[in-house]
Amino acid sequence: MLRWIIFLVIFLILDLYAFQAFKTVSKNNWSHLSYWVISVLVVGNFVFNYYGFNRRDGFSHAHAYAFGFFIAILIPKMVLFLGMFAEDVFRVPLAIYRYFTEGDAAKGNYFAARRQFVSQIALGIAAIPLVSVLYGIYKGKYNFKVLKYTLTFEDLPNAFHGYKITQLSDIHSGSFDDIEKVKYAVNLVNEQQSDVILFTGDMVNNKAEEMHPYMDVFNKLQAKDGKFSVLGNHDYGDYVTWNSEAAKHQNLEDLKIIQKQIGFDLLLNESRFLEKDGERIALVGVENWGTGGFKQEGDLKQAASGIKKEDFKILMSHDPTHWEKVVIDDDYHYHLTLSGHTHGMQFGIEIPGWFKWSPAKWRYKYWAGIYEEMGQYINVNRGFGYLAFPGRVGMWPEITVIELKKGTSIT
């Protein structure tokens, strides 16, 4: 209870400061009332959904939208707070000076009026994140992008020159609220006509049953050499409370069955071979392995026990910290690793070929796109779905298409 009181007090202070900018620009009482009504409704809905949150019930769509709309007003109010506070850096010392120099002559009006142009600038800047977040909730979460890369390798088997891989990651089916948009994305995947589809984990948020409405949709994914998958940290059901360990275990077994039913060959610390014209490449899949408190079920040595050191290898590992901490230095030399997990934090700014930024970079060294270390590559997929925040801003849902070429450079 105390933490909620502290939260509300802090937010009220933030709100009162932000309202100063609004009041300086608009003198209309109805607009003032609207400001407070919207603020109370959004914050009230957030508190209603999260006060006494029960992990047994899990994270619902109502929780997601309560959080999303709260973020939509929080960031603009923080911008306004900073603008008004910056102005007070000058207003407060001036008020103190007037208090001591003018005394009673000032009749208690020591503070200079807020300057309208400062409030206008603050409101203009605050409008950018407000519009962006609302767009991200309304459309951005289904703004699927096909990102295409060509990677070249000297030791790629000749038969696999021009081989196309589609990577999907982080479906998080429990978050979806528009099945038609998901169908559109699946059709978009099939339009790529890749040789193989590789899914790198987090099919659900917590429970296998989240996939039930979407099984017929994802069952339509097609690739002539098959569909393969690995588990992500959310697939184990660790983020909700279960009636028993047996129930939790059964949930994971149910998810494994679902993956098989929709045509995925789930790799649990094991490998397969993709064969073409008498040549082959090794496909290795590990269970989740991550740093920072995430589950470490992945066993690279076990997964690679059936392949040879000289084989051309593609590794599927959900968390890119596995590549950073384990894979890069492994003497087997994994030519290409496919990961996801970060979502690019579902928020960022990208100008392809020029600039890429997200708060995710403060947590992960490898957080979105292609990276190369020691002659080995990783692609960190930004994710197909979304989690917690019901939207995406700048970090759009991703379908990755990687074409393998025999050569010496990356394009």
User: Does 295 share its domain with 378?
Assistant: yes
Domain that holds residue 172: 143-406
pLDDT classification of 410: cutoffs 50, 70, 90: very low
Backbone phi and psi for residue 243, each to the nearest 5 degrees, phi listed first: -65, -30
Burial label, 384 (beta-carbon count in 10 A; 0-12, 13-18, 19+)? buried
H or E element in which residue 29 lies: helix 29-50
Q: Give the residue carrying structure tokens 């982080």.
A: 170
Judge if 92 and 157 occupy the same domain.
no
Residue whose structure tokens are 């923080």: 78
pLDDT in tens, 47-68: 999 887 777 677 889 999 999 9
Is the pLDDT assigned to residue 94 strictly greater than 70? yes
Residues 278 and 306 in one domain: yes
Same domain, 349 and 366: yes
Question: Domain total for the chain?
Answer: 2
pLDDT on residue 408 = 77
Do residues 222 and 262 both lie within one domain? yes
Residues 6+ apart with CB under 8 A from 402: 148, 149, 150, 151, 164, 165, 167, 336, 379
Taking only the tens place, the pLDDT of each residue in 317-360 is 999 999 999 999 999 999 999 999 999 999 999 988 789 999 99
End-of-domain residue from the set 121, 138, 155: 138
d(CA 380, CA 285): 15
**Is position 326 within any domain?**
yes
Looking at the structure, do residues 131 and 212 belong to the same domain, yes or no? no
Residues 244 and 180 in one domain: yes
Would you say the C-alpha torsion 211, 214, 220, 221 has a positive or negative sign? negative
| Cβ atoms of residues 46 and 67 within 8 Å | yes
User: Over 60: is that where the pLDDT of 411 sits?
Assistant: no
Nearest by Cα to 4 from 36, 39, 48, 35:
48
* Element holding 74 (H helix, E strand): helix 61-102
Domain CATH for 232: 3.60.21.10
Of 86, 121, 138, the domain-final residue: 138
Residue 411 resides in a domain = no
Calculate the average pLDDT of the chain.
Answer: 93
Which whole number is the average pLDDT over 243-266?
97
* Cα dihedral value 297, 301, 307, 313, nearest 10: 70
pLDDT tens digit sequence for 188-205: 999 999 999 999 999 999
Considering the entire predicted model, what is its pTM? 0.92
* Dist. CA 116–CA 121, nearest whole Å: 9
CA 235 from chain center: how many Å? 16
